[in-house]
Amino acid sequence: MLVALRIENFALIDALELTLQPGLNVLTGETGAGKSIILDAIDAVLGGRVTQRMVRAGEKRAIVEATFVLTPVVRDWLQTQGLEVTGDRLICTRELTSGQNNTVRSRSRLNGVAVNKPQMESLRLRLVEITAQGQTLQVGDPLLQLAWLDGVGGPAIAQHRDQVAASYVAAAEAYSALERRRRAEQQRQEQLDLFEYQARELNAAGLEDPEELTQLEQERQRLAHAVELQQQSYEVYQILYENDRNAAACADLLGQASQTLENMLRYDPEVAPILDMVSDALAQVEEAGRQINAYGEGIEADPQRLQVVEERITQLKQLCRKYGRSLPELLEYYQEIQASLDILNGDGQSIEALEAAYDTCRQTLEAHCDALTTLRQHAAKELEKRLIDELKPLAMERVQFKVAIESATPGPTGADRVEFLFSPNPGEPLQPLAETASGGEMSRFLLALKACFSQIDAVGTLIFDEVDVGVSGRVAQAIAEKLHHLGRSQQVLCVTHQPMVAAMADAHFRVGKEIVDQAVTQTKGQKRSKKAAIATAEQVRTVVRVTPLDRQARREELAQLAGGQSHQESLSFADALLGQADTLRQSIKAEAS
């Protein structure tokens, strides 16, 4: 359930804090008052699409924060995402920041922890369900109708859909393997000749180590400069350990320093650490001298080995240039050639074996699709009955509704094409829903559909954006009662222009626009011309305000919605609506108990 909404600098809203109640919450106001902005903010905070226009003009940042009561479903989802769960509230926050060239950046957080867009979209399905005016245009989508039908089937259909999806993937993979083998067979001889030639060439080159070329180049450098390395190693040895040019070597000097420090140590123990460092340095220099001497003695000029190394380097570089690959890539290509040769030579599965495997997978897929179709047929009857039962109280007593299921090519969702057929008038044939229903009928259809699903898998909050558009009188009253019934099991937030719907609300909010003067602030020490100050003082802005209404304020608002010959007549009508709503609530409460 959505318990609180905080909005800052979003569209025409400068600052808004809204506390929502359980049951039916309604938003009323004149057309263009900003009611849709509230719904846009809820959509945005739950991962919906955002634009730069959603950041209030003149501001750089907008924030929307929605607080929900944690349900077991949402708590389990948070745990699967590795998000910490504390308390009984979930705070969803989205921050929008204006960028250059009409761009906008956004960040989403759950209880202060950053999350990505797919996570928010997944969470949204568990928190709210929004039925907007534009959704009536999507009702004719066969995929959406299929999803609705499967929703009626519950866990049983969900399980079979998973089986169909898995068997479809298996069949698709088997078919791909078969097609690859068939294509390989068609091109076998041509590819076989090429691959065999390349394999012989690369095999003759004895390719084994991807680092061979690097190692050979290092060895060539060492062999080509053997004399210089010998001379230089001897020079290093003399400098470090034993100098034959009547000059002290490094080891000699360190030895003298060590002896001197030992003499000093007899008088002052503070030089002990220095003596240790010099002693360590002497030991390292002596060891370095021995190792460089051994290195120099081990270097030998080997012209024959140098020639072998250079020939091998030339051979490897020629192969790399020919195949357009580095040596590591050439080794990988050699392995690919060998694998391709296994396929071309028939070392893999035969075409017959692959055909048999594909037939098995296809038969499994068809069997799972048939089982899913049977479940959908049962679910279709259930949906037809439930939906007609929900539509009858909405002044559609003689409506006809049928879920037509036709065979289709097996796919990841089964082998069914679903279409909702609808006839609101007796004697008229069933026709596709999107082609037959009027705007008011479509609104009632969507409301009835949501009522069906509320009995199956209820999210915490249902949001309706003018679902009562295009209706009046008895139909409007029926929609009001239906929304109130939904509010007994779920929280409902509804934007409406119907006084009958608003009268049934458990919480009523008026949305309106105000024109406000911008406050003139004068920073200390800042000089401003009189003309600039007057211009600033005269600036005005439009803001959206939302006001919770008490009983008296609701009476006035309902009178405004109802209109009438006189204000007193409208007030009398509002009183009648509120009284009727009180009676209906008591009746519904008595029936529930």
> Residue range 281-285: average pLDDT?
87
Helix, strand, coil in percent for the chain, rounding step 5? 60, 20, 25
Structural contact between residues 255 and 282, judged by C-beta atoms closer than 8 angstroms: yes
Residue 557 lies in a domain: no
Instruction: Provide the CATH number for the domain around residue 55.
Output: 3.40.50.300
Residue 451 lies in a domain: no
Q: Tell which of 344, 360, 392 closes a domain.
A: 344
Residue 565 lies in a domain: no
Residue-range definition of the domain harbouring residue 481 = 1-137+461-549
Q: Encode burial over 439-467: b for 16+ CB neighbours within 10 A, e otherwise.
A: ebbbbbbbbbbbbbbbeeebbbbbbbbbb
Q: What are phi and psi of 48, to 5 degrees?
A: -70, 170
pLDDT score, position 134: 55
Same domain, 217 and 105: no
Q: What are phi and psi of 15, to 5 degrees?
A: -155, 130
- Mean pLDDT across the chain: 84
pLDDT score, position 580: 83
Same domain, 10 and 129: yes
What would the pLDDT profile of 462-498 be if each residue is shown by its tens digit? 888 877 776 677 788 888 888 888 888 889 999 988 8
Same domain, 16 and 127: yes
Same domain, 102 and 220: no
Same domain, 237 and 325: yes
Q: Residue type for 502, please?
A: A
Higher pLDDT, 68 or 85: 68
Residue 340 lies in a domain: yes
Vertex 229 angle, CA 226 and 230, to 5°:
85
What would the pLDDT profile of 65-77 be if each residue is shown by its tens digit? 999 998 888 888 8
Residue 19: strand, helix, or coil: strand
pLDDT score, position 25: 94
Per-residue confidence band for 87, with pLDDT thresholds at 50, 70 and 90: confident
Strands (DSSP E) along 338-490, which ranges?
Answer: 400-411, 414-423, 431-432, 461-465
- Highest mean pLDDT, choosing among 370-384, 517-531, 563-577: 370-384
Nearest to 577 by CA among 558, 550, 549, 557: 558
Alpha helices in 301-350 (DSSP H): 303-323, 327-344
pLDDT score, position 525: 42
Burial class (CB in 10 A: 0-12, 13-18, 19+), 476: buried
Per-residue confidence band for 574, with pLDDT thresholds at 50, 70 and 90: confident
Cα 280 → chain centroid? 60
pLDDT score, position 348: 55
Same domain, 335 and 208: yes
Residue 419 lies in a domain: no
Q: Residue type for 341, please?
A: L
Vertex 543 angle, CA 535 and 514, to 5°:
85
Residue 169 lies in a domain: no
Q: Tell which of 297, 323, 344 closes a domain.
A: 344
Give the CA diameter of the chain.
125
Residue 467: DSSP 8-state: T
Residue 350: strand, helix, or coil: coil
Structure tokens belonging to residue 264: 């000093």
d(CA 411, CA 407): 11
> Residue range 321-330: average pLDDT?
89
Cα 32 → chain centroid? 32
> Residue range 138-164: average pLDDT?
85
Nearest to 13 by CA among 49, 53, 47, 70: 53
d(CA 67, CA 91): 4
Same domain, 238 and 133: no
Q: Residue type for 422, please?
A: F
Residue 184 lies in a domain: no
Alpha helices in 187-302 (DSSP H): 188-204, 212-224, 226-240, 250-265, 272-298
Residue 279 pLDDT exceeds 60: yes
* DSSP, residue by residue, 530-557: HHHHHHHHT-EEEEEEEEE--HHHHHHH
Residue 476 lies in a domain: yes
Total count of residues recorded for the chain:
593
Structure tokens belonging to residue 102: 């009409």
Per-residue confidence band for 457, with pLDDT thresholds at 50, 70 and 90: low
Domain count, the chain: 2
Per-residue confidence band for 444, with pLDDT thresholds at 50, 70 and 90: confident
pLDDT score, position 516: 79
Per-residue confidence band for 417, with pLDDT thresholds at 50, 70 and 90: very high
Structural contact between residues 506 and 548, judged by C-beta atoms closer than 8 angstroms: no
What would the pLDDT profile of 91-132 be if each residue is shown by its tens digit? 999 999 988 878 889 999 998 889 999 899 888 888 888 876
Same domain, 339 and 208: yes
d(CA 306, CA 322): 24
Residue 69: strand, helix, or coil: strand
Structural contact between residues 156 and 376, judged by C-beta atoms closer than 8 angstroms: no
Same domain, 220 and 309: yes
pLDDT score, position 537: 45
Higher pLDDT, 521 or 306: 306
Residue 358 pLDDT exceeds 90: yes
Same domain, 215 and 131: no
Same domain, 244 and 336: yes
Residue 285 pLDDT exceeds 80: yes
Residue 534 pLDDT exceeds 60: no
Same domain, 126 and 215: no
pLDDT score, position 349: 66
Burial class (CB in 10 A: 0-12, 13-18, 19+), 430: middle
Vertex 244 angle, CA 242 and 248, to 5°:
60
What would the pLDDT profile of 152-202 be if each residue is shown by its tens digit? 888 899 999 999 999 999 999 999 999 888 877 777 777 778 888 888 888
pLDDT score, position 481: 85
Nearest to 404 by CA among 138, 142, 135: 142
> Residue range 513-534: average pLDDT?
55
Q: Tell which of 549, 566, 587 closes a domain.
A: 549
User: Which region among 190-199, 231-240, 428-437, 469-478 has the lowest average model confidence (pLDDT)?
Assistant: 469-478
